[in-house]
Structures are given as C-alpha cells and as structure tokens.
Amino acid sequence: MTSSPSSRCLRALVWRRLISPGSEYFELRQQADGWTLAGSVVLAIDGQPYFVDYTVTADAAWGTRDVRVLRRGTGGEELLHLRVDSERRWWKGDTELPHLQGCPDIDLACTPSTNTLPIRRLSLEVGQSADVRAAWIRMPDLSLEVLPQRYTRLAPTRYRYESGGGRFTAEVDIDEHGLVTNYPPGWERVAVSGG
C-alpha cells in the first residue's frame, strides 16, 4: 500500500471480520483531485488463507477511476488492475469490459471500505433511497460482474444496504467520513485514528 506525498490521511482504522477469521488495516486519503481508499486484508475463505492489498482511486465526486488489487494465496499471486474513463467505460489493460459500462462504483467483496464510495457519492438525505450498479470483484478468484445495489439512508449514520434484488440486506453504521463502523454480519471497526 503506497501513498502519494501530496495526499493527507484522514482516517486509519482496523476492521475485524465477523463471519470468518480476518481483519483489515485501511486508510482513507485525500488527494488534490480526489480520494484514495487503500487496505491490506488477511482472511480465510473455505479454510484457505488469503492476503489482499488494494488501492481504489476516486475523483472528487467519489466516482471510481482506478482499482488495483493484489491477491496472494495458496494458488499463487494475482494482480488485477482496472481503470474507468470519463464515459464510465471500464478497462482491464487495453481490453474494454463492456458489461461494466456505466457502473460508477467498485465493490470489492473482501472489504467494507468500498461501501463508502456510493454513500459519499449519493449524499442521500434521511429517508431517501437510490439504486446503483456496482462492478463487483468476487473473492478469491477476482472475477468481475455487475451487482445491482440499493442504499437507503435510515438515520444520519445508518444505511440499509441491499443487493441481488433484496436477497442480501444489512443495516450498516458509518462515521462522519462515510466509513463503516459496524456491518453485520460481516465486519466491525475495532481501532481508529485520524481526524
């Protein structure tokens, strides 16, 4: 996980994974022209150990622009690099991924951090809801698919998150930066520093 010398760390934290062993060290950094979400995740999936190091760069309006995910595990190491152009076209190297076109957000399955992107981008008022399409990176194979999602702001620091047409629902608590503090049954924040 690297950071630009011109960036400022707004918040560093540790999440503990609740549904299986794991944890994450995460930083939210402010850049001159946007935001960086960066984390290092250690987790077990079906009894197998994995390490994931990722960086997501977003523009000033919290739209995803660049995603780098390095996954290590028993099957070796894999690096996934995605970029999003101004027309919301997604690219993996020189190959366009047309099924992801129009998705404003990335959703990385191994972390709660990417929920911050639509939460900040949508800026919903309490009682409002919005539907979004996210580019979902599944674990552990780093496969990509579109995941329809719905966010409803229930209170100033609480959202209802739904995906898969309501097949999955969770009430998510956030802090003043839009970062998850509690996301049952998945994650809880156990340490925090920064402004």
Q: In whole angstroms, give the CA distance from residue 191 to residue 183.
A: 15
Say what the pLDDT of residue 75 is. 83
Q: For 7-63, write each residue's pLDDT tens digit.
A: 899 999 999 999 889 999 999 999 999 999 999 999 999 899 999 999 999 999 999
Specify the pTM: 0.94
Say what the pLDDT of residue 195 is. 54
Tokens for 39, please give them: 């984390």
Say what the pLDDT of residue 162 is. 97
Q: In whole angstroms, give the CA distance from residue 107 to residue 133.
A: 10
Q: In whole angstroms, give the CA distance from residue 64 to residue 142.
A: 17
Task: Give Cα 113 distance to the centre of its chain.
Answer: 4
Tokens for 146, please give them: 């579109």
How confident is the chain (195 residues) per 10-residue block, as mean pLDDT? 70 95 97 97 94 98 97 93 96 96 96 98 98 96 96 98 92 97 96 80
Say what the pLDDT of residue 5 is. 55
Say what the pLDDT of residue 7 is. 84
Q: In whole angstroms, give the CA distance from residue 137 to residue 5.
A: 28
